[in-house]
Structure 1
């Protein structure tokens, strides 16, 4: 159905490109580009070995708009799938506008020198994409992404309104590392150590990072400590579902992870501003990233499962009063590795990126403008989750969450 340019060659890209190659009726030609072409070539070799599909590779500086425009035109790409760093979102959106190409990403824009990720920078592109007749899809990962589609599916099929929603993300996986992040260490630590914010009664409520802890019994995993955090889907859900009174995001962390993260923060290793070291300017968190394990290399040794989903409460569509539903996916790290050579965290982001791009190429989500996932029809996306490795379940609970 379409030619696709994927930018970025990390763990998420590894999973997404393999799944695109497994759907060659939709993704007729795939080009993978990154600053380091060798990483693209390694993924391409794996794709060829596992699927028999040949993909093209290219070197690209995603901050170079002219170079991206040239590559879009050279490849004839109909959609650019941005799996690079969130610092690069706006430059890649600019390139798509200039080249006449649809756009999709998995994480919202964040300035490199300020640990603050918000959608307003990308929402400001609404008129530009509308006037160009192009579609931009924001946040087509799992959270954000699938969790937003889950909410829309509940509103379409179960609930007339959503009064409150909690997004719960549990990684029950383990490996032999003393300290390792599940995805890009720089982005992970910036996100985890940011102050916690949640939406309640029409305003943002702010608490210090990693201070609000609750134990929850996750399907397929068991009891885990989860922490209140800020995550970008809270911003878009509260904007597009104005009836929401409370929206919160929770993620699980072990005690060892929290201890390491706090120590690294306390000694200055998570700083994002430049410091002088031995006569050279370095950014501590970027130096730390070079010391920590690359999450993409840990797939083979990671065991256990991940469980991500929404618990939403609102008025039932059938008029039977207030109902609460828990909708979630359970994903096994070892099964992901057997299929595509990735761990579950990369898989649960890469597969939705593939499915979101497929919605554009299939014509389901082609509407000029800039859109978050909860604004789009959920049904075919949800069907594809079931058919492409991320089956979901929905259960009615006895009542709203008590935490």
Structure 2
């Protein structure tokens, strides 16, 4: 035990790690990465791109959609090796600034420069010896990828961020976000940046994060599955199900305050964000479940997180006096969003892309708009210019009533105005033609 501890201390020491910080060792790291990368999709097209994928677990649905174009093969970066390489360039006894671009410690800044030189060799090896065409990531924000985004292209392997965030932002959100981005000096140092919509592009340009001519608006790849007229998710269903995509206190464009959170989406003292809206909406959903035992009622949390489950159970007990386990037709599930939407008679959601998905699939879509959503946080409610496309219950009681009425077969009251719908989809998803995956491939080829 003592020997193991001593060896561990030696291996984690700055002196030992310094041996492997020389760029020469980047060649060996590149070889290891090349051999250990795992193919998750192989295209039969001889002209397909060979892509190495970072953070693949964060956009599996998008990768699946892009693979359908049959013009790219995907290989995942081995996470353990990726972490070990990053660890070489950490400094024991020093903590990095949580805002990456505000770091001022000369020791840590020097290590970043050395890591970029190291990763140049990695990029060269992956390009020349393993014939990768390009590297991709689902976000330009991941701190642990910053050095890779800069270093791999300097070694000859382009690095592109297919940024799946900011789908929901509206123009009135831009000024605050630009201010924060400039204060944190955020920038992207890769080869090209792909965004979902024009609003996202405008945000990056105004924030001076990346050059406008290198930003492409492509849409959201996973939406191809539901926007196509022949989508399998458009088949009529006779299942009797209601789905609530669970949301938290901080579901919206809110300033991040770590000390005020017991979990990423929940206020530590239940006093910030959409507290009453969340509690009463979840409770109303549970009460409706009790009144329609012949229907299946399901909550889908954003994350598979025990803390989130506990929050839901608390709301269920608040609304019904029962735990979720005591209500046979009420449960928490983790099925993919399109599957749940397809099976549902109606969908409840708030400030989420699932709201767009549900509406695109012509499902009655309920957005609760009461409590803080019409009070202190009304400016944090998304889709404000398009709310007539949805049902917007103005109280917990009305939410419960509408779920029960829809369960009885009553028609939805949401608008079917086609022009407004098309404008809505194009505003948030960039396009409504179901060809986003093809555009992504075209943009990647531009880089080459």
Per the TM superposition, whether the score is higher than 0.5 is no
The structure in which a higher percent of residues are helix is 2
TM-score, with length taken from structure 1: 0.32
Q: Which has the larger radius of gyration?
A: 2
Bigger RCO (CA 8 Å, 6+ sep): 1
TM-score, with length taken from structure 2: 0.30
